[in-house]
């Protein structure tokens, strides 16, 4: 007989299962958002790289037409503030992109861990959510 306000073991087990299931669903939503952010960062990174390379090529050709050597051109372009800003933008996005990839991997591992717990405690052997 169940007293009002007291939960049975079955009720507690069912509530824990529901909580784990909701936790998995929330993590999967977070994973999808992280993937969308990853895609956006990748597109921005590729655009920043293209902007840097196009500007570098334009300036390289201008300097080459002046008869400068490759070493002189590299030193000139490396010391240019505008070129440095373009390169920094690209490199910053590259770091963010790699970090987002690590976040995605961490979320996937977390989802698998929680799914395994759910399957271990409530699932059928060999059956995945």
pLDDT-derived band at 1 (thresholds 50, 70, 90) equals: very low
User: Does the pLDDT value for residue 123 go beyond 80?
Assistant: no
Contact assessment for residue 77 and residue 56, using Cβ atoms and an 8 Å cutoff: yes
Does residue 42 or residue 115 have the better pLDDT? 42
Enumerate residues 6+ apart whose C-beta is below 8 A from 111.
24, 27, 28, 31
Q: Enter the DSSP assignment of 1.
A: -
pLDDT-derived band at 70 (thresholds 50, 70, 90) equals: very high
User: Does the pLDDT value for residue 126 go beyond 60?
Assistant: no
- Report the pLDDT value the prediction gives residue 30, as an integer from 0 to 100: 96
pLDDT (mean) for 28-35: 96
């Amino acid at each position: 007989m169940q007293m009002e306000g007291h939960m049975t073991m079955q009720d507690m087990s069912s509530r824990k299962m529901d909580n784990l299931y909701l936790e998995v669903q929330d993590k999967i939503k977070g994973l999808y958002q992280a993937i969308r952010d990853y895609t956006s960062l990748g597109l921005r990174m590729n655009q920043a790289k293209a902007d840097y390379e196009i500007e570098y090529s334009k300036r390289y050709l201008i300097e080459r037409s002046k008869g400068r050597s490759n070493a002189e051109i590299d030193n000139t372009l490396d010391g240019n503030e505008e070129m440095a800003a373009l390169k920094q933008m690209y490199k910053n996005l590259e770091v963010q992109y790699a970090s987002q990839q690590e976040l995605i991997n961490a979320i996937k591992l977390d989802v698998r861990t929680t799914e395994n717990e759910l399957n271990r405690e409530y699932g059928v052997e060999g059956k995945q959510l």
